[in-house]
Structure 1
Amino acid sequence: MKGDRVEIVIDAGSGTTRTYDVVATRAGRRVETVHGRGVVEVSEVTRGGTTVRTARFLANRVLALVEHPAADVPVAEEITPALRSA
């Protein structure tokens, strides 16, 4: 869903880190994360399953992988009641 975001923090060597973000940029797209065989792959995918863009990282370099899902339903405090006239 638009607004889905995955943040990847990797070890860039010499004690430094780099942060990458993969974001679902349009409505109907989602971000999928797959890991296996020493590689972490984060992809932006359309409704039909076509991959739009992919980021690949060596698993032993990944320090953190944080998924930020988009809000499906507004929170109660964000909903403003409709005013009715009598």
Structure 2
Amino acid sequence: MKGDRVEIVVDFGDGSRSYEVAATRAGRRVDVRIARGVVEVSEVTRTGTPVRTARFMANRTLALVEHPANGGRAIDGE
């Protein structure tokens, strides 16, 4: 959903760097996968086609923060 975003903080030895991947258009979402020592964050379309992807080594990733577009509130208004 447009507005979804994920912040990634990565250790680079001399400090840390922060990256952000966001769903930039309506109908896109941000998908996070962690497998085989790699963290992969992708912006994907409704059909599942990746638009852009960021990959980081899992042992260097300090933080992975997901920010949903609805601000963490329930969709049905509860």
Cα distance in structure 2, aligned partners of 1:59 and 1:38: 5
Q: Percent identity?
A: 71
Residue 21 (1) aligns with residue 20 (2): yes
Three-state SS of the structure 1 residue aligned to 2:12 is strand
CA distance in 1, matches of 2:46, 2:32: 16
> CA shift at 1:8, angstroms?
0.0
For the aligned residues, what is the CA RMSD?
A: 1.7
Instruction: Give the Å deviation of 1:12.
Output: 1.1
Equivalent residue pairs, number: 75
Give distance in 2, aligned partners of 1:42 and 1:55.
5
Map 1:20-59 → 2, pairs under 5 A = 20-59=19-58
Structure 1: which 5+ residue stretches go unaligned? 76-86
Taking the aligned partners of 1:3 and 1:53, their CA distance within structure 2 comes to 16
Q: List gaps (5 residues or longer) in structure 2.
A: none
Secondary structure in 2 aligned to 1:7? strand
Distance 1:52 1:20 in 2: 17
Query: What CA distance in whole angstroms lies between the structure 2 residues aligned with 1:13 and 1:25?
Result: 31
- Whichever residue aligns with residue 13 of structure 1, its letter is G
Structure index of larger Rg? 1
- In the alignment, the residues of structure 2 paired with residue 37 and residue 44 of structure 1 have an alpha-carbon distance, to the nearest angstrom, of 20
- Partner-residue secondary structure (3-state), 1:60: helix
